[in-house]
Amino acid sequence: MVTTVASYATEYTQVLDPQGEPVAPLPEFAQAPETLKALYRAMVLTRQFDAKAIALQRTGKIGTFASSLGQEAVGVGVASAMRPEDVLLPSYREHGAQFVRGVTMTESLLYWGGDERGSNFAAARHDFPNCVPIGTQVCHATGAARAFQLRGEARVAVCIMGDGATSKGDFYEGINMAGVWQVPLVVVVNNNQWAISLPRHRQTAAQTLAQKALSAGIPGLQVDGNDVIAVRQAADEALDKARNGHGPALIEAITYRLGDHTTADDASRYRDNDAVKAQWVLEPVVRLRNYLVKRGLWDAAQEEAWLKHCTQAVAQAVDDYLAAPAPETAAMFEHLYAALPDTLRAQLASAQHFAPRS
Ligand SMILES: Cc1ncc(C[n+]2csc(CCOP(=O)(O)OP(=O)(O)O)c2C)c(N)n1
Ligand SMILES: [Mg+2]
């Protein structure tokens, strides 16, 4: 005899289609024009910052940079659903989320310029720094969420990671214990279809990444990650449940990496340009703008004014970054060990000898 002992379906949500037409009832938050405009402004600012950061890398002013071009709705949508006391654990591609959280563009540039002080956020004090080792922050996120639970705090840990990260053990270990403990954790998979040069279909045979949540006994769903309203709605619901003791959730946001993996990459060597062009039709900024314009909530004058504001704000952040005094030579040895091991102590002495701070 064979019986079905478990079954599973993955839901996919979209509110605005690629032309900016609603295909579902708008959630309540989206009835407020100011909320939608704030989401739009944040995405545009993120895109402007991105373009400038790439230019700064090309001119040797910062190190390698990971652009979020085309994926702005993921970070902005998710972070806009968070409360200040929640904690964000991003990868390295979520500037949009960080800016919404109050991280400054100058701090971000310091980070990308190799200065640890960039991770010492003046606002969002409890947010974690960028995480470059893929997927490792999922375990940290579960730990943070467990701490909130044990302390009885109504806070949520929000972890944003890439599609490739869902192929890592850390991911499964993190969500597994999150499921066991039912901690207030929301894992967001920014599925931009690529892990450097490896396309999504070569990373996993799973039909969706959302269904990976099933292995941990937690709900998983998909949203159109180019639709900031759908992202925000899914994040609102997941955070609300987590905050109220109903456990963790995973959101797979389907988007596309329109740029190179980082400034150290040239995606044209492994990616078909026509396929990328086709994805530009789906991108999130124009989609929301179309909606706002059609509703009479945004016009050319507002667009021009906001672009001007962004240009000035980004330029000011760059000036502040470039004016920041270089970190002390000893700084590169700080923050990891409470007591420096002997081998590193010798390296510190050598570094200070050959590169004394002026
Ligand atoms: C533990 C670890 N292994 C390998 C790498 C090298 N690496 C950097 S980015 C990347 C791909 C990550 O892809 P994904 O998770 O989809 O994130 P995306 O860069 O697309 O946002 C890899 C393998 C790393 N940073 N950390
Ligand atoms: Mg990816």
Q: Is the CB of 134 under 6 A from ligand 1?
A: yes
Ligand nearest to the CA of 262: 1
Per-residue confidence (pLDDT) for residue 188, from 0 to 100: 99
Q: Which ligand 1 atom lies nearest to the CA of residue 191?
A: 16
Tell me: the pLDDT tens digits for 327-339?
Answer: 988 888 988 899 9
Measure the CA–CA gap between 22 and 43, rounded to whole angstroms.
Answer: 19
Q: For 330-336, which contacts have Cβ atoms below 8 Å and span 24 or more sequence positions?
A: 331/115, 331/116, 331/117, 332/116, 334/116, 335/116
Report pLDDT digits (tens) over 292-309: 999 999 999 999 999 999
| Inter-residue contact 244 to 155 (CB < 8 Å) | no
What backbone torsions phi and psi does residue 157 show, to the nearest 5 degrees? -90, 130
**Pocket of ligand 1 contains residue 72 by CB under 6 Å:** no
Quick check: CB of 267 below 6 Å from ligand 1?
A: no
Mean pLDDT of the 274-294 span = 98
Rounded to whole angstroms, how far apart are CA atoms 195 and 191? 9
| Nearest-CA residue for atom 23 of ligand 1 | 195
How confident is the model over 64-80, as a mean pLDDT?
98
Cβ-based neighbour number of residue 173 at 10 Å: 15
pLDDT at 358 over 60: no
pLDDT tens column, 81-97: 999 999 999 999 999 99
State whether the beta carbon of 137 lies less than 6 angstroms from ligand 1. no
Give the residue whose CA is nearest to atom 13 of ligand 1. Answer: 195
Q: How far apart are the CA of 137 and the centre of ligand 1, in A?
A: 12
Q: pLDDT category, 45, cuts 50, 70, 90?
A: very high
Among protein residues, the one whose CA lies closest to atom 26 of ligand 1: 133
Summarize the confidence of residues 223-245 as an average pLDDT.
98
Transcribe 124-167 into DSSP letters: STTSPPP--STTHHHHHHHHHHHHHHHHT----EEEEEETGGGG
Which of 72, 89, 92, 134 gets mutated to test ligand 1 (max ligand atoms within 8 A of its CB)?
134
Residues 317/109, Cβ–Cβ less than 8 Å: yes
- Structure tokens belonging to residue 183: 């901690």
Is the distance from the beta carbon of residue 164 to the nearest atom of ligand 1 less than 6 Å? Answer: yes
Distance 135 CA to ligand 2 centre (A): 11
Average pLDDT value for the chain: 97
Cα-Cα end-to-end distance for the chain: 80
What six digits make up the tokens of 203?
A: 């990373």
pLDDT confidence bin for 355, thresholds 50/70/90: confident
Determine which one of 92, 261, 287, 291 is catalytic.
261
pLDDT score of 60: 98
pLDDT in tens, 149-191: 999 999 999 999 999 999 999 999 999 999 999 999 999 999 9
- Residue 274's contacts (CB-CB under 8 Å, 6 or more residues apart) are none
In order of their start, the domains of the chain are: 12-327 (3.40.50.970), 329-358 (no CATH)
State the residue for tokens 């901690």: 183
Please name the residue whose Cα sits nearest to atom 7 of ligand 1: 134
Whether 257 is catalytic is yes
Condensed to tens digits (0 to 9), the pLDDT of residues 108-151 reads 999 999 999 999 999 999 999 999 999 999 999 999 999 999 99
Are the C-beta atoms of residues 157 and 185 closer than 8 Å to each other?
yes
Q: What is the mean pLDDT of residues 28-48?
A: 98
Give the H or E element holding residue 221: strand 220-224
Rounded average pLDDT over 100-105: 98
> For ligand 1, is residue 169 a contact (CB within 6 Å)?
no
User: Distance, CA 86 to ligand 1 centroid (Å)?
Assistant: 25
Q: What angle do CA 115, 118, 123 make, to 5 degrees?
A: 165
pLDDT above 90 coverage of the chain, percent: 96
DSSP letters spanning 233-277: HHHHHHHHHHHTT---EEEEEE----S-SSTT--GGGTS-HHHHH
